Structure 1
Amino acid sequence: MTTHYSFEQWLKYVNDELVEKERIHLEDHLYTCDQCLDLYVNAVAEQETMLPAISDETAFTDQIMRKISNEEVETILEVKEKKKKSFYQSSIFHYTLAAAATIFLMSTGVFQSIIQHTETIQKAEIPSKKESAAVGFVDKTFSWMYELEGSKKEEKK
C-alpha cells in the first residue's frame, strides 16, 4: 500500500529543503498519486503568494532575455574553444594516413598476393553438382505420373 506525504513535506519539497534522495522519492510518488499531486499543487500555490510582486514585468523580461543571450554567446565561445583539435585528431590526418598505407601495400604487392591466394582456393574447390530436393521431388513425381499413364493405357487395350 502506498503511503501519502503530508502537506508540510510537499512545502519542504517546494522550498528545496529536502535531501536529494527524499526529493527523488517524492517526485516518483507524484507520477502515481493524484491525492499527493493536489497537495503539491496547493503547496506551490501557497509559496507563490509569498514571492515578491514584479513591478515592471517588461523590464524584468528584458533583463532575463539579455542574461540568456549573454550565456548563449559564452556557451558558443566555449564550444568553439573545445573544438580546436590537434593535427593528429583531424580528419585530414587520418585520410592521409590511410591513403599512405594503401599506396604502400599496393606497391609491395600485398594485395596481388591476396588475390592470387584466393584464386588458388577457388580453383581447388571441386565443383559439385547437387540437385536440390525440389528438383528431385518433381522428377520423381513426373516419373510416377508417366508410369501411371502407361499402366492405364495397357488396361484399355
Structure 2
Amino acid sequence: MNHVPEAGWVAYLADEIPETLKIEYENHLYSCDKCLSAYMEAMEKEEASLDMEGMDIAGPVMNSINRLKGESGEEATQKRKEKSLRTIARHYLIAAGFTILLMAGGVFQTLTEYVDSVESSSAVETQSVTDGLIEKTFNWMDSIEKKNKEGFRNE
C-alpha cells in the first residue's frame, strides 16, 4: 500500500470512508512512520477545528430549547434576569429579617457582653514575659541592697 495522503486521514477521522479502507489504513499505520505522523497532524488539525467550532455550544442549545418552548432568545434572557433579581431580593429580605430578629432578641447585646468579659479577664490574668522578668530583677536587686544595708549595720 502506498502512503495515505493527509486528506485520506481527514476522511478517516470524519468517518467518511468504508470499513474495509479503514482497516487498511489502520494496518498501514503500524508499519509506516510517515503516515503515522500525517495521521497525528490530521488529528491535531481536526481537534483545533473542533475547538473553534465548539467554543459557544451553550448559546445554540439554549436557543433551541427556547424555540421549543415558543419563546424568543431575548424573552428568555429577560425572564432569567427578572427571576435572578427576584431571588437576590428575596435573599436580602430574609437576611434583613433574621438580623432584625436577632437584634430584637438581644443576641448581639449578649454576645458583646460576653466578649467584653473575656477581654477584661484575659487582660488581668496575662502579663508579658518581659514585664515579669523586669519585675523579678528589680525585686532581686532590692533584696540584695537590703542585705547589704543590714550587713553594714551589724558590723
Q: TM-score range by the shorter chain?
A: 0.3 to 0.5
Higher helix share: 2
